[in-house]
Amino acid sequence: MEIVEIIENYTAKLRDFKVKEAELNRLRDKHERLMEKYREAGYKLKYPHWIENYLTPLAKELIKHFPDADFDTMGPFGMDCETTISIHGEDGTLLAFLEFIPGNLDVGELFLRDYTIDNGLFSKGTIAEMNGANHPSIPIPQDATIEWFMEKIKYFQGTTKAWTSSKLA
């Protein structure tokens, strides 16, 4: 084999390499632009927060049972991310109060804090006691209705002295 043939063989392979390399670079750049586009789209996604998309619509349904009432959602607070819906009259009178604790939100699981029971497991002043751990959490059934929540409100109202100003019967 002559030197000219060796050079031609090498330069042909080099040209082929450069063509393939350029194509790979073009494809990589194209995909990097796509990845950046998707990354930016991901940054713009708005996470469906459970308070805004679960509790607020629930509160709007609940206040239909309380003429001239309004509601507030407060939270999340504490170790359990407790969040409350309080329903109050025009004069600020507390009409109803429910405290929610998120469970597995991927399946819509929520609990209600039952302040009618104090199991006394944690001493007064401990972090657990201050975060409501002495009060059990009631699972909210997946098929719960507004009437189910109204029954809980009536039950809690009947056992909680702080709601003596409430207008629920």
Domain boundaries, the chain: 1-45, 50-163
Using an 8 Å Cβ cutoff, are 137 and 65 in contact? Answer: no
Q: Which amino acid is at 111?
A: F
Task: Copy the structure tokens of residue 37.
Answer: 């586009």
Specify the pLDDT at position 5. Answer: 95
Q: Is pLDDT of 13 > 60? A: yes
List pLDDT tens digits, range 35-66.
999 999 999 999 999 999 999 999 999 999 99
Q: Is pLDDT of 160 > 70? A: no
| Confidence at 155, pLDDT banded by 50, 70, 90 | confident
| Confidence at 165, pLDDT banded by 50, 70, 90 | very low
- Of 134, 112, 114, 113, residue with least CA distance to 123: 134
Residues 11-20 have a mean pLDDT of 98
Q: What average pLDDT is seen over the chain?
A: 90
Q: Which amino acid is at 74?
A: M
Total H helices, total E strands in the chain: 5, 5
Q: Does the global pTM surpass 0.75?
A: no
Q: Is 146 left (phi over 0), alpha (psi -120 to 50) or beta?
A: alpha
- Of 134, 58, 48, 67, residue with least CA distance to 98: 58
